[in-house]
């Protein structure tokens, strides 16, 4: 998390110094599709008149029953429970000259956070791990297994920003992520549903964004 905070500070300071003589638009938004999976996000963005924008996002996932794949840390497709928090910071390239226009964007960001997962166990649960050995830091209670830990990843997004009014914008796109740090508490060689990275490492973007001010 310290690395993320350092990156966040660097991104914001760099963007502000480059844009010191320009008008900057401040915007906040929330991504709508993850609400279905009990993931709630808040995004803040600095939009100068140049082509590079800086954005920061925080999110929380509360008892989502979505899963990354049909094999994860247990069985019973309706019996997975995922929770966690994440923070991300990144940059976007937007080939437009005015923040009031509809425009295309492509970007990259660093994200990290904390996850908690549980699911019913498969009979061959141990086969998911190297040497068929369940790590000692998994917690098994009855027919359920619990895991938790930290993760860090990279993600890229691509899409279009639609200007509905001067203050209200709508973003449509897709994000693809990759978990850089695999916690020993995560199952080996299978997908996880991680907050901010999504199911199968993809997140749909339908973000409602409001311009809150300019300078």
User: Cα–Cα distance between 89 and 128 in angstroms, integer?
Assistant: 33
pTM over 0.95: no
Phi, psi of 5 (to 5 degrees): -65, -35
Question: Domain locations in the chain?
Answer: 2-214
Contact present, 172 and 206 (Cβ < 8 Å): yes
pLDDT on residue 72: 46
pLDDT on residue 111: 93
pLDDT on residue 92: 92
The per-residue DSSP string of 49-110 comes to SSSEEEEEEEEEEEEE---SSSSSSSB-TT--EEEEEEEEEEEEE---S-TTS-EEEEEEEE
Overall fold of domain 2-214: Porin (2.40.160)
List average pLDDT for each run of 10 residues in the chain, which is 215 residues long.
50 47 74 76 82 90 71 54 92 76 90 87 71 76 83 93 89 90 56 76 88 78
Considering only CA atoms, give the Rg of the chain: 19
Q: Tell which residue, 60, 55, 40, has the closest CA to residue 110.
A: 55
């Amino acid at each position: 998390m310290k690395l993320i905070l350092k990156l966040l500070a660097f991104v914001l300071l760099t963007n502000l110094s480059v844009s010191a003589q320009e008008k900057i638009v401040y915007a906040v938004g929330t991504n709508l599709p993850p609400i279905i999976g009990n993931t709630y996000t808040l995004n803040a963005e600095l939009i100068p008149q140049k082509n590079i924008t800086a954005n920061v996002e925080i999110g929380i996932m509360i008892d989502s029953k979505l899963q990354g794949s049909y094999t994860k840390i247990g069985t019973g497709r309706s019996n997975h429970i995922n929770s966690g928090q994440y923070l991300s910071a990144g940059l976007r390239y937007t080939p437009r000259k005015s923040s009031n226009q509809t425009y295309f964007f492509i970007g990259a960001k660093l994200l990290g956070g904390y996850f908690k997962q549980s699911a019913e166990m498969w009979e061959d649960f141990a086969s998911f791990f190297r040497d068929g050995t369940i790590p000692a830091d998994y917690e098994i209670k009855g027919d359920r297994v619990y895991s938790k830990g930290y993760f860090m990843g990279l993600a890229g997004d691509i899409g279009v920003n639609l200007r509905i009014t001067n203050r209200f914008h709508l973003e449509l796109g897709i994000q693809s992520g990759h978990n850089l740090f695999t916690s020993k508490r995560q199952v080996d060689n299978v997908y996880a549903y991680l907050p901010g990275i999504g199911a199968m490492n993809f997140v749909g973007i339908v973000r409602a964004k409001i311009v809150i001010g300019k300078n």
